[in-house]
Structure 1
Amino acid sequence: MNDSIVSILDLPNEILLIIFKKLNNIDLLYSFIGINQQLDNVICRIDFTRAIDLVTISSYETDDSKIDSILDRFCLHILPRIHEHVECHTIEACFFQCIFHTSNYINLCKLTLVNFEPNMASHIFHKKSSFIHTFEHQISHLVVMFIDNIPEATIDNLLIHNYVSIFALLRNLKYLELNVNDVYSFLPTLFNGVSPLRCFSPSIIHLRIKLNNFDDCLYLLDGRLSQLHTFIVNLDYIHDPSRMLPIPK
Protein backbone atom coordinates (compact mmCIF):
# COMPACT_ATOMS: atom_id res chain seq x y z
CA MET A 1 0.00 0.00 0.00
CA ASN A 2 2.82 2.41 0.89
CA ASP A 3 4.26 1.98 -2.60
CA SER A 4 1.24 3.83 -4.03
CA ILE A 5 1.67 6.91 -1.84
CA VAL A 6 3.20 9.87 -3.70
CA SER A 7 5.08 12.42 -1.62
CA ILE A 8 4.82 16.10 -2.51
CA LEU A 9 8.59 15.93 -3.00
CA ASP A 10 8.05 13.44 -5.84
CA LEU A 11 5.95 15.88 -7.87
CA PRO A 12 7.51 17.84 -10.75
CA ASN A 13 7.89 21.60 -10.36
CA GLU A 14 5.12 22.27 -12.86
CA ILE A 15 2.59 20.41 -10.69
CA LEU A 16 3.90 22.04 -7.52
CA LEU A 17 3.35 25.46 -9.09
CA ILE A 18 -0.27 24.65 -9.91
CA ILE A 19 -0.89 23.51 -6.32
CA PHE A 20 0.97 26.35 -4.64
CA LYS A 21 -0.81 29.06 -6.64
CA LYS A 22 -4.05 27.98 -4.96
CA LEU A 23 -2.59 28.62 -1.49
CA ASN A 24 -2.09 31.81 0.50
CA ASN A 25 1.50 32.85 -0.16
CA ILE A 26 2.18 33.72 3.50
CA ASP A 27 1.09 30.24 4.61
CA LEU A 28 3.11 28.77 1.76
CA LEU A 29 6.32 30.59 2.66
CA TYR A 30 5.97 29.88 6.37
CA SER A 31 5.20 26.18 5.95
CA PHE A 32 7.52 25.08 3.14
CA ILE A 33 10.55 27.34 2.78
CA GLY A 34 13.71 25.71 4.08
CA ILE A 35 12.51 22.09 3.72
CA ASN A 36 14.70 21.32 0.72
CA GLN A 37 16.24 22.97 -2.32
CA GLN A 38 13.55 21.84 -4.76
CA LEU A 39 10.72 23.44 -2.76
CA ASP A 40 12.79 26.57 -2.15
CA ASN A 41 13.40 26.97 -5.89
CA VAL A 42 9.64 26.88 -6.51
CA ILE A 43 8.45 28.90 -3.51
CA CYS A 44 11.03 31.67 -3.81
CA ARG A 45 9.79 32.59 -7.27
CA ILE A 46 8.58 36.15 -7.69
CA ASP A 47 4.99 34.87 -8.12
CA PHE A 48 4.86 34.09 -4.39
CA THR A 49 7.18 36.78 -3.04
CA ARG A 50 6.24 39.97 -4.94
CA ALA A 51 3.50 40.99 -2.46
CA ILE A 52 3.91 40.20 1.25
CA ASP A 53 0.96 40.89 3.57
CA LEU A 54 1.99 40.02 7.11
CA VAL A 55 -1.20 41.58 8.54
CA THR A 56 -3.03 38.42 7.50
CA ILE A 57 -1.19 36.56 10.27
CA SER A 58 -3.03 38.38 13.06
CA SER A 59 -6.33 38.11 11.19
CA TYR A 60 -6.50 34.34 11.71
CA GLU A 61 -4.09 33.83 14.63
CA THR A 62 -5.10 35.17 18.08
CA ASP A 63 -2.30 33.74 20.22
CA ASP A 64 0.27 36.54 20.67
CA SER A 65 3.13 34.11 21.29
CA LYS A 66 2.27 32.24 18.09
CA ILE A 67 2.13 35.51 16.14
CA ASP A 68 5.54 36.47 17.52
CA SER A 69 6.93 33.07 16.56
CA ILE A 70 5.63 33.38 12.99
CA LEU A 71 7.02 36.91 12.64
CA ASP A 72 10.38 35.82 14.02
CA ARG A 73 10.58 33.10 11.39
CA PHE A 74 9.74 35.60 8.66
CA CYS A 75 12.21 38.23 9.88
CA LEU A 76 15.10 35.87 10.57
CA HIS A 77 14.74 33.17 7.93
CA ILE A 78 12.20 33.95 5.21
CA LEU A 79 12.47 37.66 4.35
CA PRO A 80 16.29 37.52 4.03
CA ARG A 81 15.77 34.79 1.39
CA ILE A 82 13.18 36.66 -0.68
CA HIS A 83 13.84 40.36 0.01
CA GLU A 84 15.07 41.12 -3.51
CA HIS A 85 11.69 40.04 -4.95
CA VAL A 86 9.44 42.01 -2.58
CA GLU A 87 7.72 44.92 -4.34
CA CYS A 88 4.75 45.40 -1.99
CA HIS A 89 4.76 45.16 1.82
CA THR A 90 1.70 45.30 4.12
CA ILE A 91 2.63 45.23 7.80
CA GLU A 92 1.47 46.14 11.27
CA ALA A 93 3.31 49.37 12.04
CA CYS A 94 4.50 48.07 15.42
CA PHE A 95 6.60 45.45 13.60
CA PHE A 96 8.18 47.98 11.25
CA GLN A 97 11.63 48.01 12.84
CA CYS A 98 12.17 44.26 12.96
CA ILE A 99 10.92 43.76 9.40
CA PHE A 100 12.95 46.56 7.82
CA HIS A 101 16.15 46.04 9.80
CA THR A 102 16.62 42.44 8.68
CA SER A 103 16.54 42.80 4.90
CA ASN A 104 17.38 45.14 2.04
CA TYR A 105 14.28 45.56 -0.13
CA ILE A 106 15.86 46.86 -3.32
CA ASN A 107 12.64 46.56 -5.36
CA LEU A 108 10.11 47.69 -2.74
CA CYS A 109 7.88 50.45 -4.10
CA LYS A 110 4.54 49.93 -2.31
CA LEU A 111 4.10 50.06 1.46
CA THR A 112 1.01 49.82 3.67
CA LEU A 113 1.34 50.53 7.39
CA VAL A 114 -1.59 49.32 9.51
CA ASN A 115 -2.42 50.64 13.01
CA PHE A 116 0.12 53.41 12.67
CA GLU A 117 0.65 55.57 15.77
CA PRO A 118 1.33 59.21 14.83
CA ASN A 119 4.32 59.44 17.19
CA MET A 120 6.04 56.73 15.12
CA ALA A 121 6.60 59.33 12.42
CA SER A 122 9.51 60.84 14.34
CA HIS A 123 11.38 57.53 13.91
CA ILE A 124 10.24 56.54 10.41
CA PHE A 125 9.39 59.69 8.47
CA HIS A 126 12.39 61.71 9.59
CA LYS A 127 15.04 63.09 7.26
CA LYS A 128 17.82 61.28 9.14
CA SER A 129 16.03 57.94 9.54
CA SER A 130 17.43 54.84 7.87
CA PHE A 131 14.07 54.31 6.16
CA ILE A 132 14.14 57.70 4.42
CA HIS A 133 17.84 57.28 3.60
CA THR A 134 17.05 54.00 1.82
CA PHE A 135 13.60 54.59 0.35
CA GLU A 136 13.43 58.35 -0.24
CA HIS A 137 13.35 57.87 -4.02
CA GLN A 138 12.05 54.29 -4.08
CA ILE A 139 8.58 54.33 -2.48
CA SER A 140 5.91 55.34 -5.00
CA HIS A 141 2.79 54.04 -3.19
CA LEU A 142 2.12 54.60 0.51
CA VAL A 143 -0.98 53.80 2.56
CA VAL A 144 -0.98 54.78 6.25
CA MET A 145 -3.88 53.50 8.36
CA PHE A 146 -3.79 55.31 11.69
CA ILE A 147 -4.78 53.65 14.96
CA ASP A 148 -8.28 54.28 16.30
CA ASN A 149 -7.26 55.62 19.72
CA ILE A 150 -5.20 58.72 18.96
CA PRO A 151 -5.21 61.16 21.93
CA GLU A 152 -7.73 63.81 20.90
CA ALA A 153 -5.82 66.61 22.61
CA THR A 154 -2.87 66.16 20.26
CA ILE A 155 -4.44 64.69 17.13
CA ASP A 156 -4.23 67.82 14.97
CA ASN A 157 -0.59 68.60 15.73
CA LEU A 158 0.46 64.97 15.42
CA LEU A 159 -1.28 64.42 12.10
CA ILE A 160 -0.18 67.66 10.47
CA HIS A 161 3.40 66.73 11.41
CA ASN A 162 2.87 63.31 9.80
CA TYR A 163 1.35 64.80 6.67
CA VAL A 164 4.12 67.39 6.24
CA SER A 165 6.88 64.83 6.82
CA ILE A 166 5.50 62.37 4.27
CA PHE A 167 4.94 65.05 1.62
CA ALA A 168 8.43 66.48 2.08
CA LEU A 169 10.58 63.37 2.46
CA LEU A 170 9.32 60.78 -0.04
CA ARG A 171 10.48 62.36 -3.27
CA ASN A 172 8.99 59.90 -5.76
CA LEU A 173 5.64 59.35 -4.02
CA LYS A 174 2.78 59.12 -6.52
CA TYR A 175 -0.02 57.40 -4.60
CA LEU A 176 -0.79 58.40 -1.01
CA GLU A 177 -3.64 57.40 1.29
CA LEU A 178 -3.82 58.68 4.87
CA ASN A 179 -6.71 56.94 6.61
CA VAL A 180 -8.00 58.30 9.93
CA ASN A 181 -11.04 57.00 11.81
CA ASP A 182 -14.23 59.01 11.23
CA VAL A 183 -14.76 59.44 14.98
CA TYR A 184 -12.10 62.16 15.03
CA SER A 185 -13.04 65.69 14.07
CA PHE A 186 -10.22 67.98 13.03
CA LEU A 187 -9.94 71.66 13.78
CA PRO A 188 -10.91 73.90 10.85
CA THR A 189 -8.14 74.94 8.47
CA LEU A 190 -5.78 72.15 9.46
CA PHE A 191 -3.27 73.38 6.87
CA ASN A 192 -3.73 77.08 7.65
CA GLY A 193 -0.29 78.57 8.19
CA VAL A 194 1.56 75.57 6.76
CA SER A 195 3.79 77.05 4.07
CA PRO A 196 3.83 75.42 0.61
CA LEU A 197 7.60 75.32 1.10
CA ARG A 198 7.10 72.88 4.02
CA CYS A 199 4.20 70.86 2.68
CA PHE A 200 4.37 70.18 -1.05
CA SER A 201 4.97 67.41 -3.55
CA PRO A 202 5.79 67.64 -7.26
CA SER A 203 5.13 63.91 -7.75
CA ILE A 204 1.84 62.92 -6.02
CA ILE A 205 -0.91 62.15 -8.53
CA HIS A 206 -3.36 60.34 -6.20
CA LEU A 207 -4.23 61.57 -2.71
CA ARG A 208 -6.80 60.28 -0.23
CA ILE A 209 -7.01 62.22 3.02
CA LYS A 210 -9.33 63.26 5.87
CA LEU A 211 -9.84 66.99 6.47
CA ASN A 212 -12.24 69.26 8.33
CA ASN A 213 -13.89 71.21 5.51
CA PHE A 214 -13.53 72.60 1.99
CA ASP A 215 -11.22 75.37 3.18
CA ASP A 216 -8.60 72.73 3.96
CA CYS A 217 -9.00 71.38 0.43
CA LEU A 218 -8.22 74.82 -0.98
CA TYR A 219 -4.95 74.96 0.91
CA LEU A 220 -3.89 71.66 -0.67
CA LEU A 221 -5.06 72.80 -4.11
CA ASP A 222 -3.06 76.02 -4.16
CA GLY A 223 -0.40 74.55 -6.44
CA ARG A 224 1.69 72.73 -3.86
CA LEU A 225 0.58 69.38 -5.36
CA SER A 226 1.28 70.28 -8.96
CA GLN A 227 0.76 66.82 -10.50
CA LEU A 228 -2.38 65.85 -8.56
CA HIS A 229 -5.23 64.45 -10.68
CA THR A 230 -7.14 62.23 -8.19
CA PHE A 231 -8.19 63.84 -4.89
CA ILE A 232 -10.42 61.83 -2.52
CA VAL A 233 -11.40 63.66 0.67
CA ASN A 234 -13.33 62.59 3.76
CA LEU A 235 -14.68 65.83 5.26
CA ASP A 236 -15.87 66.35 8.82
CA TYR A 237 -18.12 69.22 7.83
CA ILE A 238 -19.59 70.82 4.72
CA HIS A 239 -20.51 74.45 5.27
CA ASP A 240 -22.31 77.08 3.22
CA PRO A 241 -20.27 77.61 0.00
CA SER A 242 -20.66 81.38 0.42
CA ARG A 243 -18.52 81.17 3.57
CA MET A 244 -15.61 79.41 1.87
CA LEU A 245 -12.27 81.13 2.20
CA PRO A 246 -10.63 82.53 -0.94
CA ILE A 247 -7.90 80.39 -2.45
CA PRO A 248 -4.67 81.46 -0.72
CA LYS A 249 -2.10 83.18 -2.92
Structure 2
Amino acid sequence: MKANMACSCVELNDLPDEIFLIIFKKLDNFDILNSFHGVKNIRLNKIIHDSIFTSDLNFVKWSSNKFFNKLSSNVMLNRFCLQILPAISIKIKWLYLESSSAENILRAADYPSLYGLGLYNIKEKTARRLFNVKYNYLITLDIETVRDDCIEELLFNTKTCFHNNIVLYINYKSLERVTHNFTRDITRINCAKVNEIFLVGEKIYSNSLRDYFPCAIIH
Protein backbone atom coordinates (compact mmCIF):
# COMPACT_ATOMS: atom_id res chain seq x y z
CA MET A 1 0.00 0.00 0.00
CA LYS A 2 2.79 2.46 0.92
CA ALA A 3 4.55 1.70 -2.34
CA ASN A 4 1.37 2.41 -4.28
CA MET A 5 0.84 5.70 -2.44
CA ALA A 6 4.42 6.77 -3.13
CA CYS A 7 3.92 5.92 -6.78
CA SER A 8 0.72 7.98 -6.89
CA CYS A 9 2.48 10.97 -5.34
CA VAL A 10 5.24 10.79 -7.91
CA GLU A 11 2.67 10.68 -10.70
CA LEU A 12 0.82 13.67 -9.21
CA ASN A 13 4.00 15.72 -8.99
CA ASP A 14 4.84 14.81 -12.55
CA LEU A 15 1.64 16.41 -13.87
CA PRO A 16 2.27 19.64 -15.80
CA ASP A 17 0.94 22.95 -14.46
CA GLU A 18 -1.58 23.06 -17.29
CA ILE A 19 -3.38 19.99 -15.93
CA PHE A 20 -3.63 21.52 -12.45
CA LEU A 21 -5.01 24.71 -13.98
CA ILE A 22 -7.67 22.80 -15.91
CA ILE A 23 -8.73 20.96 -12.74
CA PHE A 24 -8.70 24.02 -10.46
CA LYS A 25 -10.66 26.16 -12.92
CA LYS A 26 -13.57 23.77 -12.43
CA LEU A 27 -13.53 24.40 -8.67
CA ASP A 28 -14.59 27.38 -6.56
CA ASN A 29 -11.72 29.71 -5.57
CA PHE A 30 -12.85 29.57 -1.94
CA ASP A 31 -12.61 25.77 -1.92
CA ILE A 32 -9.23 25.75 -3.65
CA LEU A 33 -7.65 28.10 -1.12
CA ASN A 34 -9.30 26.41 1.84
CA SER A 35 -8.12 22.98 0.72
CA PHE A 36 -4.65 23.64 -0.66
CA HIS A 37 -3.22 26.81 0.89
CA GLY A 38 -0.14 25.93 2.93
CA VAL A 39 0.43 22.45 1.51
CA LYS A 40 4.08 21.45 1.47
CA ASN A 41 4.42 21.67 -2.28
CA ILE A 42 6.01 24.84 -3.64
CA ARG A 43 4.72 24.35 -7.18
CA LEU A 44 1.14 23.72 -6.04
CA ASN A 45 1.22 26.74 -3.74
CA LYS A 46 2.46 28.91 -6.59
CA ILE A 47 -0.40 27.73 -8.82
CA ILE A 48 -3.18 28.37 -6.29
CA HIS A 49 -1.77 31.84 -5.56
CA ASP A 50 -2.16 32.80 -9.20
CA SER A 51 -4.52 35.75 -9.73
CA ILE A 52 -6.93 33.38 -11.50
CA PHE A 53 -7.77 31.89 -8.11
CA THR A 54 -7.18 34.85 -5.80
CA SER A 55 -8.72 37.90 -7.51
CA ASP A 56 -12.36 36.94 -6.89
CA LEU A 57 -13.44 35.37 -3.59
CA ASN A 58 -17.01 34.47 -2.71
CA PHE A 59 -17.71 33.72 0.96
CA VAL A 60 -21.47 33.43 0.42
CA LYS A 61 -23.63 30.52 -0.72
CA TRP A 62 -27.28 30.52 -1.81
CA SER A 63 -29.51 27.76 -0.48
CA SER A 64 -33.25 27.43 0.20
CA ASN A 65 -33.81 31.04 -0.92
CA LYS A 66 -31.34 32.35 1.67
CA PHE A 67 -27.74 33.53 1.72
CA PHE A 68 -25.39 31.68 4.04
CA ASN A 69 -21.81 32.18 5.14
CA LYS A 70 -19.41 29.58 3.70
CA LEU A 71 -17.19 29.97 6.74
CA SER A 72 -19.05 27.40 8.79
CA SER A 73 -16.72 27.37 11.81
CA ASN A 74 -14.39 29.67 13.74
CA VAL A 75 -11.51 27.40 12.77
CA MET A 76 -12.18 28.06 9.08
CA LEU A 77 -12.70 31.79 9.68
CA ASN A 78 -9.42 32.06 11.59
CA ARG A 79 -7.58 30.11 8.90
CA PHE A 80 -8.69 32.60 6.25
CA CYS A 81 -8.17 35.70 8.39
CA LEU A 82 -4.81 34.74 9.87
CA GLN A 83 -3.18 32.74 7.09
CA ILE A 84 -4.84 32.87 3.69
CA LEU A 85 -6.08 36.45 3.23
CA PRO A 86 -2.89 38.21 4.44
CA ALA A 87 -0.92 36.11 1.95
CA ILE A 88 -3.04 37.04 -1.08
CA SER A 89 -4.66 40.37 -0.13
CA ILE A 90 -2.76 42.42 -2.69
CA LYS A 91 -4.28 40.27 -5.47
CA ILE A 92 -7.91 40.40 -4.31
CA LYS A 93 -10.17 42.54 -6.51
CA TRP A 94 -13.65 41.24 -5.65
CA LEU A 95 -15.14 40.06 -2.33
CA TYR A 96 -18.64 38.71 -1.69
CA LEU A 97 -19.35 38.80 2.05
CA GLU A 98 -22.06 37.78 4.49
CA SER A 99 -22.77 39.74 7.67
CA SER A 100 -21.42 37.26 10.22
CA SER A 101 -17.87 37.30 8.81
CA ALA A 102 -17.68 40.54 6.80
CA GLU A 103 -15.94 42.61 9.46
CA ASN A 104 -13.38 39.92 10.25
CA ILE A 105 -12.52 39.46 6.60
CA LEU A 106 -12.24 43.15 5.76
CA ARG A 107 -10.05 43.79 8.78
CA ALA A 108 -7.86 40.72 8.25
CA ALA A 109 -5.66 42.53 5.73
CA ASP A 110 -5.27 45.61 3.57
CA TYR A 111 -6.86 45.22 0.13
CA PRO A 112 -5.16 47.84 -2.06
CA SER A 113 -6.56 46.36 -5.28
CA LEU A 114 -10.15 45.84 -4.09
CA TYR A 115 -12.61 47.43 -6.53
CA GLY A 116 -15.73 45.28 -6.09
CA LEU A 117 -17.69 44.39 -2.96
CA GLY A 118 -20.88 42.34 -2.64
CA LEU A 119 -22.70 42.48 0.71
CA TYR A 120 -25.37 40.02 1.88
CA ASN A 121 -27.51 39.90 5.05
CA ILE A 122 -25.66 42.99 6.27
CA LYS A 123 -27.03 44.66 9.40
CA GLU A 124 -27.01 48.43 10.00
CA LYS A 125 -24.35 48.37 12.72
CA THR A 126 -22.13 46.17 10.60
CA ALA A 127 -22.50 48.48 7.60
CA ARG A 128 -21.66 51.49 9.75
CA ARG A 129 -18.43 49.89 10.98
CA LEU A 130 -17.43 48.51 7.60
CA PHE A 131 -17.42 51.84 5.84
CA ASN A 132 -15.34 53.60 8.43
CA VAL A 133 -12.52 52.06 6.41
CA LYS A 134 -11.49 53.72 3.15
CA TYR A 135 -11.06 51.51 0.09
CA ASN A 136 -9.29 53.66 -2.48
CA TYR A 137 -10.03 51.51 -5.51
CA LEU A 138 -13.56 50.37 -4.64
CA ILE A 139 -15.73 51.21 -7.63
CA THR A 140 -18.34 48.41 -7.71
CA LEU A 141 -20.85 47.86 -4.91
CA ASP A 142 -23.45 45.09 -4.98
CA ILE A 143 -26.11 45.77 -2.32
CA GLU A 144 -29.19 44.43 -4.09
CA THR A 145 -30.18 42.19 -1.14
CA VAL A 146 -29.26 44.64 1.63
CA ARG A 147 -31.90 46.09 3.99
CA ASP A 148 -33.00 49.72 3.81
CA ASP A 149 -31.25 50.81 7.00
CA CYS A 150 -27.94 49.49 5.65
CA ILE A 151 -28.46 51.20 2.31
CA GLU A 152 -28.91 54.45 4.22
CA GLU A 153 -25.54 53.89 5.91
CA LEU A 154 -23.94 53.53 2.50
CA LEU A 155 -25.74 56.33 0.65
CA PHE A 156 -25.71 59.02 3.36
CA ASN A 157 -22.80 61.26 2.38
CA THR A 158 -22.27 62.11 6.06
CA LYS A 159 -21.49 58.45 6.80
CA THR A 160 -19.88 57.07 3.64
CA CYS A 161 -17.79 58.94 1.11
CA PHE A 162 -18.09 57.45 -2.37
CA HIS A 163 -15.39 57.92 -4.95
CA ASN A 164 -16.49 59.02 -8.39
CA ASN A 165 -17.48 56.49 -11.06
CA ILE A 166 -19.18 54.00 -8.74
CA VAL A 167 -21.01 51.04 -10.29
CA LEU A 168 -24.02 50.17 -8.12
CA TYR A 169 -26.22 47.05 -8.02
CA ILE A 170 -29.36 47.71 -5.97
CA ASN A 171 -33.04 46.82 -5.61
CA TYR A 172 -35.17 49.55 -7.17
CA LYS A 173 -37.90 49.59 -4.49
CA SER A 174 -35.31 49.80 -1.70
CA LEU A 175 -33.59 52.67 -3.47
CA GLU A 176 -36.91 54.45 -3.96
CA ARG A 177 -37.74 54.17 -0.25
CA VAL A 178 -34.31 55.21 1.02
CA THR A 179 -34.16 58.26 -1.25
CA HIS A 180 -37.79 59.23 -0.47
CA ASN A 181 -38.74 58.74 -4.09
CA PHE A 182 -35.55 60.45 -5.28
CA THR A 183 -36.02 63.69 -3.38
CA ARG A 184 -33.79 63.21 -0.33
CA ASP A 185 -30.80 65.56 -0.17
CA ILE A 186 -28.62 63.52 2.20
CA THR A 187 -28.40 60.65 -0.30
CA ARG A 188 -28.16 62.84 -3.40
CA ILE A 189 -24.41 63.55 -3.22
CA ASN A 190 -23.32 59.91 -3.24
CA CYS A 191 -25.91 59.03 -5.88
CA ALA A 192 -24.49 61.75 -8.12
CA LYS A 193 -21.16 59.91 -8.03
CA VAL A 194 -22.66 56.73 -9.49
CA ASN A 195 -21.44 56.11 -13.02
CA GLU A 196 -23.55 53.03 -13.73
CA ILE A 197 -26.51 51.52 -11.89
CA PHE A 198 -28.09 48.09 -12.26
CA LEU A 199 -31.63 48.08 -10.84
CA VAL A 200 -33.16 44.82 -9.64
CA GLY A 201 -36.90 44.20 -9.53
CA GLU A 202 -39.31 46.92 -10.65
CA LYS A 203 -39.00 47.97 -14.29
CA ILE A 204 -41.28 51.02 -14.19
CA TYR A 205 -39.16 53.84 -12.84
CA SER A 206 -39.95 57.24 -11.36
CA ASN A 207 -39.36 60.20 -13.67
CA SER A 208 -37.09 61.63 -10.97
CA LEU A 209 -34.63 58.72 -11.20
CA ARG A 210 -32.66 60.18 -14.10
CA ASP A 211 -32.19 63.56 -12.40
CA TYR A 212 -31.13 61.88 -9.16
CA PHE A 213 -28.40 59.92 -10.96
CA PRO A 214 -27.27 62.55 -13.47
CA CYS A 215 -24.01 60.82 -14.40
CA ALA A 216 -25.24 57.23 -14.46
CA ILE A 217 -26.01 54.77 -17.20
CA ILE A 218 -29.18 53.08 -15.89
CA HIS A 219 -29.85 49.40 -16.56
TM-score (norm 1): 0.68
Taking a change above 3 Å as real, the CA distance of residues 221 and 145 of structure 1, as seen in their structure-2 partners, is closer
Structure 1 partner of 2:78:
72
The amino acid of 1:138's aligned partner reads Y
**Residue equivalent to 1:5:** 7
How far apart, CA to CA, are the structure 2 residues paired with 1:28 and 1:44? 10
- Could you tell me the TM-score, scaled by structure 2's length? 0.76
Equivalents in 1 of 2:78, 2:164: separation in Å? 31
Which piece of structure 1 moves more, 94-103 or 63-72?
A: 63-72
Please give the alpha-carbon distance, in whole angstroms, between the structure 1 residues aligned to 2:25 and 2:14: 18
Find the aligned partners of 1:99 and 1:206 in 2 and give their Cα distance.
Answer: 26
Superposed, which structure 2 residues align to 1:95-106 within 5 Å? 95-106=101-112
Give the partner amino acid of 2:13. L
1:15–1:102 Cα change, 3 Å: same
Max Rg structure: 1
Cα distance in 2 between the residues matched to 1:64 and 1:82: 19
Shift of 1:80: 1.0
Q: CA deviation at 1:214?
A: 5.1
1:179–1:210 contact (8 Å) kept in structure 2: yes
Tell me if 1:123 matches 2:129. Answer: yes
**Deviation at residue 173 of structure 1 after TM alignment:** 4.1
> Which residue, out of 166, 185, 204, partners 1:194?
185
Say which of 158, 168, 176 aligns to 1:176. 168
- The aligned residue for residue 23 of structure 1 is 27
Correspondence for 2:91 = 85
Residue of structure 1 in register with 2:215 after alignment: 227
2:44 to 29, 33, 39: 39
Distance in 1, Cα, partners of 2:153 & 2:105: 24
Give the corresponding residue for 1:208.
199
- What is the percent sequence identity of the aligned residues? 24
Counterpart Cα distance in 1 of 2:109 and 2:45: 18
**Structure 1 unaligned spans of 5+:** 232-249
- Report how many aligned residue pairs link the two structures: 209
Structure 2 unaligned segments of length 5 or more: list them: none
Deviations 1:109-141 (A, max 9, x none): 11101111234332233xxx1x22xx1x41111
RMSD: 3.7
